[in-house]
Structures are given as C-alpha cells and as structure tokens.
Chains A and B, each alone.
Chain A
Amino acid sequence: MIRITINGREIQAEEGRTILDVAREHGIYIPSLCDHERLKPFTGCRLCLVEIKGRRGYAPACGTFLEEGQIVTTETPDIQKIRRTIMELILAEHPHACLICSERTNCVDYKSSIRKVGEVTGCILCPNNSRCELQDVVEYLKVDKVRFPALFRNCDIRKDDPFIDRDYNLCILCGRCVRICHEVRGASVLTFVRRGPRTEISTALNGRLLDSQCLFCGACIDVCPTGALAERGARYLPPPEEKKSALCGFCSQGCELTLEIGKGRIQAALPASKGAVNQGQACLRGRFLLKEAVYHPRRILKPMVRKNGALEETTWDEALDLTARKLAGISPDAISLWGTSQNTCEDAFVFRRFGREGLKTADVAGPEMFSAAAAYRRFIQAHRIEAVLNFRIPDLSRMKAFVLFGEELPDAQPMLWLEVHKAIRQGARLITVGPEELCVNRCASGWVKIDPEKECLLAASLTKILLESSEHAEMSGVEGFVELKKRIQAFKISEALPMLGVSEDKLRRLALLLEKKKPAAFLFGPESCSGRWGQANLEAMWNLALLTQGRLVPLDSDGNARGALEVSSADGHDLKPAKDVLNAIHSGNNKALYLCEPVPGLTKDKVGFLVYQGSFMNETAEIADVVLPETTFVESSGTFVNIEGRIQKLTAAIPPLGEARPGWTIVRDLARKMGLTGFDYQDVSEIFADMAKSLPAFHGLTAGQLNPETMVRDLPKNGKRFLVSEAAPPADEPATDEPVRDPDTYRGLAMAVEVKSLHRIRNRGK
C-alpha cells in the first residue's frame, strides 16, 4: 500500500494505480476525456493535469502512477486556467453552441423532435446528447465562452458501413476508440492518421470499416465521449427513458447487456460495464441485432391455427384447446418432440417433462444433444476420465498455446476470443486447424489445412513427435502412458504426412511449439467431435492435451446449449438417442410433432399434426397446424447456463410482444388443458426448485442464491489417463446430417439472411 495526499486528504491505495483512478475512487473529481477504465493511460486530453509537490510543471493524473508520499493538488487557479483554455480549444473544433448557451436549461422541452439531421451543429442534434462527456466537463469548468474561432474540420460523415456512423467533425481525438480496438478488442482496425491539424481517426488507407478487419463489435461507439461514433439505428432517437439489464441469448457466452428503453421499446442494447462475462464488451449480435430480432417482421405475435389449409390468427384458448384435443388422441409412440437450446433452462425443463411425463413419449430431444459439450461429456463418461466441461473464460488468457479446430472464434465466441487474443499478445501461440482459412489465421503461428476427420491424425502425429523428442518423465506415472508410447511406435508419420498435406518440418515446428508453450487449450466445436471420427478425434486430442498439460474446451454457440444439455442429459429415463428422434421426425410415421425449432427439409406430407412453438415464422412454422408464439430472451425470465457452465439469471426487460408467452407457460397451460398434473408452475423459481431436485447439475441450488459466479455442478470423476482405444472407428458408418448450429441464427431466424446489414458484413469481400 502506498500513502499519498490529494487536496490535503491522506489516501491509501495499492501500488501501480494512477492518481486519477484513486481520486475517482475517493470521490475527488478530476476532469478527463481520454482516460477509460479499461484502457492504458493516453495522457492526450491534458484536462487531468494536477500539481505534484516537488515536480516541475503539471502531471496528467491519468498517466501518473502513485508514489509514496506524493502530495497532489487537483485544483489551483493556474490549473483551472489551463483546463479552461484546453476545453476552449476542444470546443473550437467541436460544435458547441448548445454547450455554452446560457438558455440551454430552458430549451430541454423543445428539443425532442429535431434530431433527424445528419450534420450535428449542437447538442440537440447530437446522437450523444446527454451522454456526451464534454457536457460534464464544460459544466465543471464553467466554460461560458470560447475565445477562439471555430475550426471546422469539414470531414465527410461516413455512413458507408453497416450499423456505425462516423462523424469525425465531432471527434476530439481522445483515441479511446483506437485504443479499445487495439488494446481490448485486438482488432486494430482504427488508427490515427496524418498529423497536425489534419490528424484524424480512420482505418488504414481511409477505407470503410467493411473493408477492414472490423468485427462491428461497437466497442468504439461505447467508449466515444462525443457523438463522433454513433449507432445508426439509434442516433435519431431521443435519450432513453429507462435502462434495464438483460442477458444476451444470441450465443452461449451470456453477456450482460444494458437495454435502453423508450416508450416501451428497446432503443439500443449496450454492453453492461460490469457484466460478469463481458466486462463492458459486447459483440455485433448483442450490440446491434437485438432490436432487429425482437422487432423483426417475422416475429410471431399471435397464436395461429390452420383453417381451410391456411394459418389463421386465433386466441390462445382455441389454439391450446385444439392442440390438447389432438395430442390427447394420439398414442405416445406416434408423438415426437423437438426442443430448442435457445430458451431458458426452465422452458427446456418443463417442455421435456411434458414430453416424457405428460405425453409419455420417448421421442423427446433437442439440438443440444449434437453439441460439442454433449459429445465431450459422452467421451468423458465412456472413458471415465478426469475432465470437466466447466471452465472460466479469463483462465484462457493464462494459456500459452491454443489449438483451434475450425472455429471462427471472433465471430462465434467473441468474448472468448478476447481472452485468447490477450494471451497471444502476451506471447501465447495459436495454431489453427481446418479446411477454411480463418480470419484469426493472421494471428496464428501455423495453419494446418485439413478436414475434421483428419484431426485425430494430426493430434496423433504431434503426440508421436512429442513423445519421441523427449522423455516426458513427469508423465511416466500416468496411467496408459506406457501403452500409448508403445502404440504410437506403430504409427508412421511418413504415412500421415501426405494425408495432412503438411511438411514434416512444419509438423515438428508445431510440435516444438506445443512443447515449449505449455499449457495448451484445444478449442473445438461440434464438427470435430461428431460423426464417425468424433470419438477418435477426442481421444487423440485428449492424449495430446494431457501430454502438454492442457485441456479440451468444447465450443457451442446456442444461447443455452449447456443448460439444455444439463436438463436433457440428467434424465435417467429410457430415451431414444437424439439422432433417432430426428430420424423419426423425418420418417413420416408420426401422428403428431411438437417442435420448438424449425426442422429443415420437413414436408407437410410427412407430418400428421404439427405444433410449432417459437418466436419467428419459418419454413417449419409455415406448415404447422398450430403455431404458438413464444417470447424471446428479452421478454423471458429464468436461467441460462453459458459456455463456461455459469448459471445466469434472466429477467424480462420488456413485456412480451403481442400475445407471445414464455415457453414454460405455454406448455403448462397445454398440460392443464390436457388434464395433466404436476405442471402447475406459477413462477420460474418453482421450476428452478424442481430442477434443483431432479437435475444433478443444479443439485442443491436455489434460485434466490444464484449469483453471477454460480456454476453448474460438474465434478471430475476418476483420474488422468492416456487412452489407447482398441477399436478403430467404424469406417463404413455413413455421416449423418447433424444440424449445423449457426451462431447468427436465433430461434430459426437466420439473421445473416434476414438482416441486411449483417448480410453485408457476413458476405463482405464476396
């Protein structure tokens, strides 16, 4: 601890912190425009200059680290004079008529509707009005006139990119966007260009963001202190009336968002600055697509039933009565249910119970059964090895190497990517494996261009090189090591090389890298561990990971993939494998189908009675006999389990749109109508209590006790063991058409198709 004095107050703080941080913490205001809590000091705006006794001149509080005994004064007449002059200089380049207008407090009532112009000439026309940090500083410094002539930079307003408008006439060059893009997001898209009065923020060669490596995460907008960077979809809206916290359900990471709401509608979704997973960051989907999805024209807002061959809107009663009547008359063997892994655990739990206990059918499954986590869990259980699914995203930054199998991490798992990238910048190495060239390859030390089915071959080759290159004495005690060594002797690298399409030299280089950079994380998605090669891949990866003191990390994209898996895999019932359920759905032998997700390729002639419960119209809903509108995640309450195994609470941020209802209430009401007992839930907490009783993953938890750090129970069993499978993978088993989970698809809404801006981004360069 270090002791310093600020304005006569003695303060104790940890070493390595800046004067500005500590002053803020102790409620001492020092103006600053370029500093940001997540960024390294920049010391560019010079508003935070303070006086430090014994030091010549003034020091920027944001870039001055604590030293024992420092005596700091944050306000003197000279400092205030300098600050005011600096502020005037900033304002000379920034539209400021409103900022210093003496009547500004009186005009609030009149300024709601005139924001719809591209050129910003004052606060009332600025997308960042009331969020603009200049306003606070002007207020604090009491700047009431600008003694210098306005210097209009006359920059073109850049509107040629999706989602993001850039008006550098408002820019004060604090560099936050550049730094967040570089330091936190690792994208390094934005940069300072030119110098002197023509200094500007831009991309390389002044191109569009689309032509750069921009991922459209929106972080630049979130740190911009002015209205220079704005979300196009929100810039013309008035300031929000309220803000609500929400959990993003678009992917499996579970970022916390802050929704800005005005007149009952979501105006914008921003990353929550203290979000447990995202720490103030978001991604393209969470930041920009939420409104697009929730208010999408394909949204189902009313129950519908098929009458005279066409779907017609109707009342919940009629829709549910019809469904209850139909389902009651069909034998359980002839009913299949297909859930989703994109609604809450509670929804999934009630739905699956309804199928198994209510309808008494064994044909209940969902997409979670095809997840990487599911495959890995099956692998762990089959081999009885010491491994867990749970992990912590920040732990990844402590890894020294990553082997990434085919996943476009920055798009699919953006938060995870930030940690991986952070590790890379700290010296960790990345190896990518997969048939397609990935964007992340630019940060990779090597790329092995192979199909998933050859991943085991690669892992085995690397294992062999590693085993032969050194003794690995520390492993000699591990079960199976001797067997593995023996087994691997028979393996011929020379035979593997032509199949892998890499040189032996490169292979050795990669092996050496894994040897040097320990531990390594092996990141893989469903494709690596599904199909006939899946278990062989996992085994080879497992051995390699064990040898390099690393671990396997399964990656799934569905918002509640892990939660749904925990709900489904806990069943001790005699259930059909998911593949069989899917086959049954396609077989045409069912009398009734109850689907919560579209099933591609399903045709009307193969379906008896089809119930579709979901949020968006799609090809499956079109052929349904009954369509039941379900809420999206912003209108739902309950829990999600994220990719780490973190149980996160969801609270509805807005009331349900139209007549949509949460999934569990739909099923509950249907069960009631069918006269089934045990479904009389009044609240999600009651469901959670039931889950805690019947699901090992939730065992012993209560809804009230959940905190952001609560993880599902995932205790390792058994011990470390190298695996030497006796049986080779069945070579002749046909590859099944397992549904590919697309991170841009939410409840059947293919956003990359349906949302034009996202379409432009996903298809850039094509």
Chain B
Amino acid sequence: MRKLADPDQLAAWKAKILEGRTPYEKTIVVTSGTCGQASGSLPIIEALNLEIERRGLGNRIGIEITGCHGFCEMEPSIVIYPEGVFYKKLEPKDVPAIIDQTVLGDKILPALAYEDTATGKKYPRQKEIPFYQKQMRLLTENNFLINPERIEDYIALDGYKALAKAIFDMTSEGIVAEVTAAGLRGRGGAGFSTGRKWQICREAAGHPKYIICNADEGDPGAYMDRSLLEGNPHSVVEGMIIGAYAIGAAEGFIYVRMEYPLAVKHVTMALEQARKHGLLGENILGSEFHFDIHIVQGAGAFVSGEETSLMASIEGRRAFPRQRPPFPAQEGLWGKPTNINNVETWANVPIIITTGAEGFSKIGTEKSKGTKIFSLVGKINNTGLVEVPMGITLREIIEDIGGGIKNDRRLKAVQTGGPSGGCIPAAKIDLPIDYDSLAQAGTIMGSGGMIVMDEGTCMVDIARYFLHFTQEESCGKCVPCRVGTRQMHEMLSRIADGKGEAGDIERLEDLAFAVKSGSLCGLGQTAPNPVLTTLRYFRDEYETHINHKKCKALVCKDIVSSPCHYICPIDQEASSYIALIAQGRTKDAFDIIMKDNPLPSVCGRVCHHPCEKVCRAGETGEPIAIRALKRFVMDWAEENGLTPEPKPGALNRDKVAIIGSGPAGLTAAYALAGKGFRPMVFEALPVAGGMLAGGIPEHRLPKRILNRDIAFIKKAGVEIMTGRKLGRDFTLDGLFEEGFKAVFIATGAWKSMRMDIPGEDAKGVMESLEYLKAVNLGNPMPVGKRVCVVGGGNSAIDAARVAVRDKRASSVTVLYRRTKAEMPAFPEEVDAAIEEGIEIRFLVAPVKVLAKNGKVSGIECIRMELGEKDASGRRKPVPLKGSNFTLKLDTLILAIGERPDTSYVSSRDGIRLAKENIAVDGDTFKTSRDGVFAGGDAVTGPNTVVEAMAAGKIAAGSIEQFLEGRPVERAYHLTRPSVYLAAVELSEDEIADAKRAPATHLPAARRKKNFKEVDLGLSERLACKEARRCLRCDLETTDAKRALGLKTS
C-alpha cells in the first residue's frame, strides 16, 4: 500500500476496508490485554480457534482479539456479536459448549453469564450489565471494537479523520483554541488546561520543539494508560500528531515503562503502521507537515513520571527532577520548548477535534470537562477500569458501577491519586468527582487510581503503606523528600507498631508541612497527602494507636499480635493455649487459661467468643473453635482431677466490698484477692453467680460447672455473702463505715423492658429473666400449652428452650421483627432451638396482646419488611400496612431487652447515673463517688459475660491504684503472649483436611424434655486436631520473631 497522499485517500481506504470485511454470522471478541492474558485469555483464543477449525466454521464465525474492556474482575471474558452476549471467567473447557449452545444455538449459558452480587440477577448481555450502564466510554468504547495490532480497525472507525481535519481544515492556532475551548485538563493529575499548555509551548522561542506522551504510569493499582496504549494505541498517536501540528513540534516521544511490554509492542506496531501509511513521518497525509515519534522505555522509577525527571531520563541522565521555572514549555528536552501530556490527555484530542469544543464541553462539570478513566480497585466487587463523566458521584462509581463493597462489608474510605493523593472518607460518598471537589477534600484526581477500602482497613497502615512507597521511590535529590518521607514512614511504622508516643501526631504534621512545602518536585510535595488526609478524617485512629495501643481494624500486626488474644476483653491468651493443646500440653494450656480467667468453665460454654469472629483462619475458611477448645481444657482438667491452686499470698490489704456476684463482681473480687486485698462479695440472690446462676439455663451452663469456678474463686480468698441486697440490707455509707475502703458495684441488668403495647399486663405475660431465674432457682413458673416468646436475643432463645423443656408446653413460638441474619442470639442456639421444635417467625412484630378474662389468649402481630440501614448498619424493619394477623397463645414471654435496676441509688450516695445505668469513667470504671467503682451490665446495660468480666478485671486494677493513693488511670499495653511457642508443622494431608471440628450435641430427641447439657464438647483427639489448624498469628510480631530466632523484616 502506498502512503496516503491526501485526505480523500484516507476516506477511500476506509471504504475499502469496510467493503473487504468478511460478513461473519457471529463474531467472538476476546479481551486480551495484559490483565486478560494474565487471567488466561490466550488458551481461550487457542481453544476457540481449534474448535472453529475442527468444525469448519471458519467462514461463518470470526474471532477478534481486542485490548482490555475494563471489567478485569471477570477476565478472561468474551463478547459474542451481534447479540452482545457476555461470558465471564472462562476456561478452555467452556469453549465447545459456547460454540454449540450460544454461537450456533442462540442459547444463553447461565453459568457463564454475569451475575450481580447484590441482587443475584443474571445479565447475559454486555450492554445491560450495571458495570457498563453508568459509564460513559468516550475513550475506551473502541477498545471493544479494535484489534490493536491492526491499523485498519482504527481507520474503519474513522481513525485519523480528526488528523486530516486538523491539518487540512484547521489552522494550528485554531486547534489550540478548540482544545482550550473544550476545557480539557491534564489527565496526568495536576489538571492544568491542556489548551493553555499548548499555547505556551507554541509561543515559546526556540527550535526545534518537542512533544512527549507521558506513559510512565507508576501509581500502585493504576493502569488506565496501559489499557489505552494496549487497546487503542492509534488514538494516542493521532492525538500526538495533532498536538505536534498545533504546537509546531517536529519530534515526539512516548515515554513508557519497560514493564508494559504489550503496550510497547502495540505502540511500536502502531507507529510503524502509521509511518507506512504516511500518517507519521515526512509530509503527513501529503501535507507539508513532518513529524515523527520515538518510544523511550523507562526503567520503572516512580519519579520518572515527573516531567523534568522524565526529560532527564529521555536525555539519558539519571532521572532527577529539576527546579521549575524554567518550565518544559520554555526549556524542556535538550533545553528546547517541550510539551508533555499524559496518555489519556492525548487520547482525548482526536475526540475534541471530531466532536468540536462545544460538543465535548457538554460532558462534565463547569470546570472539569469530559470523562475520566479510573482504575477501580481494592475491596470492591467489580474491580476494573471505568470511564465516567466528570462530576459523577463517588457513590455512583462505588455502588452502581463497582457493585458495592466486597463481602458485604462497609465502605471506609477511597484513596484517589495513588501515593500522591489522599483518602476520601465514606461520609463524603456523595462527593462529585472532579478536579476541584477532590482538591477541596484534600486529595487529587491524579492519574485515576481509585482504591476502595473497607472497614477492615487501618488508615494508619494505609498511610504507612503509601509512605513506604514514596520513600522508596524518592529520587534522593532533595532532603525533605528523601529524609522527610523516610522519617514520616518511620513515625507511622512506630505508631502502627504500637510504639507511638504523645506528640507524634504533631511531629508528623510539622514534618508533613516541611516536606510538602520544601520538596523540589511533585513527588515530595504530594507525598504527605496520604498522611494529611488520614489525619484529617481519621485522626481518632491515630490517637487510638498511640494512646491505647489499639488498631480497630485489627491490621497492625505488632499491635494486634493474634486477633483472638487482642480482641478478648479479659486478655485470654487464646493463641498460647491453642498452641499448647496442639502440642498435647493440656496441663500447660490449663495454667495459661487460669492465669487470666477466674470463670473458665463458664466462658468455655457461654462466652460469645469475639475471638472466633476475628480469627484469621475464618477469613478464608472456618475460624478455630476457640471456645470449644477452652471447654475441652477445663473438662480435661476436671476428668484428670486437676484443680487450680491459687497463688499463695497473705490477704492482708484493705477490705473491698463487691456488690453483685455476677461475672463482673466475681472477676473483680478474684483479681483483688490476687493482689492481697480482702474482697467481700454481697449477692442479693440466694445463690452466687448473678446472671450466670439466674439467667442462663442449665442446659447451656450446668450449675455444677458454674459452682466449680465459684469454688475456685472462693478458694482464692473471696468471701461471698448471698441474700444481701444493696439498699435493702445495707447502704454504701454503711460499707465505708464498716471499714471497706472501696466498693465495686456490679449489680447487673435485671429489669426487663416492656413492649408498650396494649394488653401487656394481662395474666400469663411474663418477663423472660423472671422466668429463667425462677426455673434456675428451682421454683419454675408454670407455662400454658401454647407459649410464645417475643425477641431475638439469647434471652429469648433461652426462655423458648426452657419452655420447650416444660412438659406442659406443647408448642413454643418465637416472634422476631427482623430476619435470622440480624438475630443477636448465637446462631448455634437458634439452630438448636429450631431442632428442638421451636418455631421462629421472622419479620413479625406484636401490636396488641389479646386477653380473655384478664388472661392472655393471643397476640395480634404485623408483618415487617427490611428497609434502609439504620445507624447500627442493620436494615430497619418497617411494618407492612394491613398485614395484621393474630396468634393464639396461653403464655407470652417478653424477651425484648433488659435494663439495670439501680433504684437502690439514692441522692445521698453521690453516684451519678446515666438514665438508669451507673455513669463511670470508661477507662477506669470510677463512679462519681470517690472510692466507688462500677462495672458490668449495671453500667453498660445488658452485655456479654466476658465484657462484664473485663470490667471487673480493669476495675480491680483501678481500685488497687486508688487504694495505694496513686492516680487512677488505665494502663494500655500491647497484646503479647506470655510465652512464644514454636508453630507445629503440618503435613500436606492435614493442611488439605483443615476443617473446623464439628460441635457434638445431644440429639434433640434426647434433650428436649430435660436439662442435660446439650453441647458435649470436644474429644481430646478432635481438640488437638482443631488446635493444630491455628495459623499462629501471635508469631508474626517482631517480638515473636526475635524470641524464636526467626527473620524479622
């Protein structure tokens, strides 16, 4: 083919290309950019070719290979035209079925079609997929239609027509004016007006002039430029030629990273093809205009993306930036006027020339025109490249296009602009995305990286990550950047490692200011942005890391150590006892448990085990059965006659009164005794144990087990007086008069809440706690035939399961206004209840209690549906109008919540209340009265056993400080096990078979009408196997590695 000598020849060529195309019945398009190839597109192409050849369909079915379509999450994927059927995540074995069913048979294969994660809806056609729906694919649309290795495909889509228009129908001033009027701003991130930039270079004195395409894409997780160069290289080349013509440049450079081999390949081919056809080189399209482009491959330094560095690199020097002015437009490459634009900017140029400034500037906001490509990555369902009009909100990108956050978690923040940018908190999700609003939020557009972070992300860690990147990539030329980023990284590391100190935040801010205002180039000037924005929006996280040594997201390894231990309110070294069980050292495991827990047998049964929720093994599989392992140790100890021996020590210090013998009171008393104080526990009930004794039924926590733990506590020096009630039998002042030097109030939350609906006080309506207490204390309240429980917590399920064990009850029903997923009761309890024949009716709320002769006879309910999420993140139940119905019943048990009963507090006591709860200082559990401390449900309202125990334990520390006359303050410390145990080695089989040990329960039939303990615990063999599954997160801290002589990073 000869070189094109004028625009008419270009048009003629296009016509010829279209004419010469084979009229395939179907065309299969395979996405095969770098990410496509990495996910396996090449074997798919091979399989398609083979299959078509085998069947002799070569003249009916065409295969086209294109660059990236943006939907990376679904690669490798194909689109079958003309219908536009989209198949995702293919394997070569899917190919025959695709040819048979879809290509030849016009049938959809549902398994290969895209399914929306949130709704479960299938979308077989590409155009309908929500991911593409809200996009505006100005630059990337042609990636569907172009084989980037063929210039003909580009020509067929009117490629180089803009160039012809620019050269033959426009003046160079006119082009600059058009680009200026279009409002195009630099897509490299800074957002300077492209037209004005061109104008300056055009007017600059000096010859020759150069233009550069900056394709040194270096932000972690950003690959927009690569996709354009790979998928539609001619659009960039055409933009550059037009730009060169407008500016008056004779030579251009594409500076692209060496690690983009496919982009380099496609651009190289594009340049060769353009040259061959007279679109590049001398006398372009027969005009007087000469221009050529060279490719320079960068070695992959982040700083090379900075324009002065990039130019130094092209010149063959070390990529050091230099001070501006002079700007590249004045003194650029080899001292000559140079214009640098980003890949995406250049690709916009032909579009502007074709559509005109007016058309182009209709897209976007007032000051940000056109579209922007973002690479949407992180904790998002639809990872990929998205092109959106400027001004779209973050919410639309994340929820509509991105399909929401992975694993149904909550959005925490979005990082834009890569290491130079900053984060936008979830609260700003309705922020319109344009240059100016992002700048206002403290971040930048950048080249278009968009990293989505969920609640499992620690913002200190994120800042540390980005600063690690920038300090490594600092070129080393200027001090603020080279040393400043390093010091910032060091400081962030210290904070993340739990070694932060007071003043660190201020130091960090000072340093960020100096680095930002003192650094030589953009790298340093923007490097503090991740720190500054996280400090702006998530300062509390920094403070928690520094002051409390806590990482809310459980990310910072040196703070968290093992999450199970970290999250445990009473500091149980779960990782240690698990490791000991794994080694068969059950006795040692017993000691470790006893060290921090005076109620281990109780906890082994009824703890809500937050440890298991955060267990890392649960992230990819099932969490370790930590609670069951603890119970195993305690059962084993009992079988082997092992009793804990309290530490000998004289009890010769002050007397302390503990009001309430629940988990908070007992734990506080035990801890105080351990410190040598003389604790005296006052219990209103006739038995010790508080809610453990009165509230939890026998089938979950046998009294024998509870009493075993209490016996041990007593043995440690705790005196318990039952049947003594504060306000009735004694007063606070009286205690101090009797010589008690401090008081700990842990009276629990025993008062049931009412529903406030008509008929609630009819006979046969009971409160669940009253009911449970009565059963537990051996004088059960009789129930009728039909029992109904209202509520969804453990108390509701407990009451239902106790009722089901009552021989008088023939049916037990639980009413709950949300669904099973929202139920606060332990799921295994709910399942067990259903097993025992209890009917649970979800999305139902009572509106009226029906009574006959003053005695309850039924209940009127209304159906609910789940609406918007409320503050707790749960979807709110909304009544369905007119859905009322009634249920007949004989006994109604209310289990909708409890409150503390603090009526014993009188104004004379000097104890401040927050509503009915006792108000305390959250850190130290001090009340408003000197010497009086409080904790447990009395303070928090109904809460878990282990939280109450934690309050007791911490309060004991505060009481000690108080009694010693020291300032009372909570000491925070890093989570560390007391021993570092080497990890056990697992065989391949064990790893393959690493499944959670199943809980063994008494069969429903054998437990239904009695109070035998339901959970049978783990056998020694199973326990050991289970323990060996542990991932041993506790060994990942620097301390652990050092202790075990492992390599530290």
Contacts and interface: CB of A to CB of B under 8 A. Distances in A.
Interface stretch (A39-47, A331-339, A470-478, A524-532): A39-47
Interface string A181-199: 0000000000110111101
Contacts of B479: 44-47, 86, 89-90, 172-173
A293 to B, nearest CB: 39
B174 interface: no
A64 B323 contact: yes
Given A85-B511, A93-B483, A149-B490, A44 B478 contact: yes
B362 interface: no
Interface centre among A85, A90, A151 (most CB of B within 10 A): A85
A724 interface: no
A663 interface: no
Contacts of A192: 318, 320, 476-477
A175 interface: yes
B702 interface: no
Contacts of A45: 478-479
Interface string A41-57: 11111110100000001
B476 A148 contact: no
Given A43-B520, A46-B520, A196-B482, A89 B487 contact: yes
A326 interface: no
Given A89-B480, A196-B482, A197-B472, A44 B507 contact: no
B487 A44 contact: no
Contacts of A60: 323, 520
Chain B residues touching A, majority SS:
helix
Contacts of A147: 507, 510
B855 interface: no
A443 interface: no
B301 interface: yes
**Chain B: number of interface residues, binned into ranges:** 20 to 34
B455 interface: no
Given A147-B507, A151-B483, A82 B478 contact: no
Interface centre among B480, B483, B525 (most CB of A within 10 A): B483
Interface in B519-561: 519-520, 525
B323 A46 contact: no
Interface in A645-690: none
A623 to B, nearest CB: 58
Interface string B295-327: 000000101000000000000001010110000
A151 B476 contact: no
Contacts of B471: 196-197
B474 A90 contact: no
Nearest to A55: B325
B761 to A, nearest CB: 68
Interface in A29-74: 41-47, 49, 57-60, 63-64
A199 B476 contact: yes
B520 A151 contact: no
B474 A196 contact: yes
A85 B510 contact: yes
Given A49-B518, A90-B479, A196-B473, A63 B323 contact: yes
A57 B526 CA distance: 13
Interface in B457-511: 471-480, 482-484, 486-487, 490-491, 507, 510-511
B322 A85 contact: no
B9 interface: no
Given A57-B517, A82-B514, A192-B318, A90 B483 contact: yes
A81 interface: yes
Interface centre among B482, B513, B518 (most CB of A within 10 A): B518
A147 to B, nearest CB: 6
A199 B303 CA distance: 14
A584 interface: no
Given A57-B517, A58-B518, A195 B323 contact: no
A196 B467 CA distance: 11
Contacts of A194: 476
B228 to A, nearest CB: 28
B484 A89 contact: yes
A46 B479 CA distance: 7
B513 A195 contact: no
B490 A86 contact: no
Interface centre among A47, A49, A90, A195 (most CB of B within 10 A): A195
Interface string A482-518: 0000000000000000000000000000000000000
A123 to B, nearest CB: 20
Given A82-B518, A173-B476, A195-B473, A151 B511 contact: no
B507 to A, nearest CB: 6
A191 B318 contact: yes
Contacts of A43: 322-323, 478, 520
A324 interface: no
A148 B485 CA distance: 12
A149 B478 CA distance: 19
A282 B510 CA distance: 44
B483 A92 contact: yes
Contacts of A42: 477
Contacts of B322: 43, 63
B835 to A, nearest CB: 60
A147 B491 CA distance: 11
B495 to A, nearest CB: 13
Contacts of A86: 479-480, 484, 514, 518
Contacts of A151: 483, 486-487, 490
Interface string B992-1011: 00000000000000000000
A92 B483 CA distance: 8
Contacts of A191: 318
Interface in A136-193: 147-149, 151, 172-173, 175, 191-192
A70 to B, nearest CB: 12
B480 A46 contact: yes
B80 to A, nearest CB: 48
Contacts of A41: 323
A78 B303 CA distance: 27
A90 B475 CA distance: 16
B801 to A, nearest CB: 59
A63 B324 CA distance: 9
Given A44-B520, A82-B517, A90-B479, A197 B318 contact: no
Given A82-B513, A192-B318, A197-B472, A173 B482 contact: yes
B510 A46 contact: no
A50 B476 CA distance: 22
Contacts of B318: 191-192
Contacts of B482: 173, 196-197, 199
A463 B490 CA distance: 69
Contact of B474 (A82, A148, A195): A195
A95 to B, nearest CB: 15
B587 to A, nearest CB: 44
Nearest to B482: A199
A627 to B, nearest CB: 57
A198 to B, nearest CB: 8
A64 B326 CA distance: 9
A51 to B, nearest CB: 11
A175 B477 contact: yes
19 contacts: A41-B323, A44-B478, A44-B520, A49-B517, A64-B323, A81-B513, A81-B514, A82-B513, A82-B517, A86-B479, A86-B514, A148-B491, A173-B479, A192-B318, A195-B303, A195-B472, A196-B471, A196-B472, A197-B474
> 5 closest Cβ contacts across the A-B interface?
A199-B476, A85-B514, A89-B483, A63-B323, A43-B323
Given A44-B520, A151-B490, A195-B301, 13 more contacts: A46-B479, A46-B518, A82-B518, A85-B511, A85-B514, A93-B483, A148-B511, A191-B318, A195-B476, A196-B472, A196-B486, A197-B472, A197-B474
Interface of A: 41-47, 49, 57-60, 63-64, 78, 81-82, 85-86, 89-90, 92-93, 147-149, 151, 172-173, 175, 191-192, 194-197, 199
